[in-house]
Copies of this chain bind each other. A is one copy, B any other.
Amino acid sequence: MEKRIMELISDNKVVEIRNELLEMNIVDIAQVLEEVDKHQLVRLFRILPKDIAAGVFSYVPVELQQHIIESITDSETKSIVDELFLDDAVDFIDEMPANIVKKVLKNTDENMRTIINQLLNYPEDSAGSIMTIEYVDLKKEMTVRDAIAHIKKTGVDKETINTCYVIDKNRKLEGVVSIRRLILSSEEKLISDIMNEDFIFIYTTADQEQVAMLFKKYDLLTMPVVDAECRLVGIITVDDIVDIIEQENTEDIQKMAALQPSEEEYLKTGVFTLAKHRVVWLLVLMLSATFTGHIIKRFGDVLQSVVLLAAFIPMLMDTGGNAGSQSSTLIIRGLALGEVSMKDASKVLWKEFRVSIIVGLALAIVNFLRIFYLEKVDFLITFTVCFTLFCTVVIAKLVGGILPIGAKYLKLDPAIMASPLITTIVDALALMIYFTMAAWLIGL
């Protein structure tokens, strides 16, 4: 399909291109536009009917949106912006430079301009900033017949009519009623009789992460957003929540790898930006690793007399780091999904302690067999290595289990207590045990 349309484009067959595009899903059209050159892009965009053009526009990357708006006339801009869903319009305006914003706002009517400005004012990542104000509102005195007539009259512009919202004369939210309920009820019934008054709602100021939590917990498709006086001001739909969940996951994963989180796609991010997001944490961790270096330096004479001890440093460090990050990862994820909470700290410690005993013993035994029998290393050294390994695993798992909970307690993001930081801490502890024990055994 995509190949064929590319051929038509290079052959410049305008009518065929248009017919082909109209057969396609708007998401796929947007993908075609991404792949042609910028000149073709604007030409293709112009041959689309304006309702489809608006849909396609909301799926095109920011830089192409900017290019399109720069290339088209004021009246074309107006017709696109008029057709956009308001939340898509706000998302797009939020990303644009000032001159584009000016061009767009100039070409919207005053009413819409006021609303857009209002929506732009909600704090980033708040419920207010991700909601749309296009929803169906009903009154509880309406009959089902009235309600359906009202939907028929006003529903075309609404993002979803699957759930309708019942408000009083002050716009205070009184109930919700699904389209399913409306259709399945007899036409004479009153909305007040069929509406659900025990609904889940959220305030405009709530964080989007909290919104996503509620969507997941209650399996919602839409959620009403109210202001401090419980007046309905907008709704959030599940398709935006899916994006937010992925975005929050990406952020967590990046933090866990000692990266400054970024919403930009990798391939579209500049080299300097990428470097900037990485270098700070690397510096911090590099400088803290020098602490571990000092431990080794302090035990220089021990190492001098048994240089073989150095050969086991990588194994001890890596295993400690891995053992710790396994635990911290499970706890960080459990906290993020709400499966583990701060009050579980002692349960986590007790569980990690028992797990670490099993895992530590298994690793130490395998290691003993390998070093003592296969590599024929001296018993005392073998014992030192294996004992340190066991202690390291136990400490690593306890540290890995408790630090994320501690971070949460200190209102830090638990995700920063992942592999890199745990590794640095566990390394230092492991080497301290290792050399102390070696010094003691050699001194005997």
- Chain A residues within 8 Å of B, Cβ to Cβ: 23-25, 27, 148, 151-152, 155-156, 160-162, 179-180, 183-184, 198, 200, 215-221, 238-239, 241-243, 245-246, 249-250, 252-254, 256-259, 265-267, 271-272, 274-275, 278-279, 281-283, 285-287, 289-290, 292-294, 296-297, 300, 303-304, 307-308, 310-315, 317-319, 321-323, 325-326, 328-331, 333-334, 337, 339-340, 344, 347-348, 351, 354-355, 358-359, 362-363, 366-367, 370, 393, 418-420, 423-424, 427, 431
CB distance from A366 to the nearest CB of B (A): 6
Q: Is the CB of B250 within 8 A of A333?
A: yes
Residues in B with CB closer than 8 Å to A419 are 257, 325, 419
Residues in B with CB closer than 8 Å to A331 are 266
CB distance from A249 to the nearest CB of B (A): 5
Other-chain contact of A296, B179, B311, B329, B393 (Cβ < 8 Å): B311
Q: Is the CB of A355 within 8 A of B289?
A: no
Residues in B with CB closer than 8 Å to A315 are 286, 289-290, 292-293
Pairs A–B under 8 Å by Cβ, sample size 11: A156-B184, A183-B183, A219-B242, A258-B322, A266-B334, A278-B326, A293-B313, A310-B313, A314-B431, A317-B317, A321-B423
Task: Tell me how many chains of this kind the complex includes.
Answer: 2
Other-chain contact of A183, B155, B200, B321, B329 (Cβ < 8 Å): B155
19 other A-B residue contacts (CB within 8 Å) besides A258-B326, A313-B313:
A156-B184, A161-B179, A179-B180, A220-B239, A250-B337, A254-B330, A256-B329, A257-B325, A266-B330, A266-B348, A267-B347, A274-B355, A282-B326, A285-B322, A293-B312, A294-B311, A304-B304, A310-B313, A313-B314
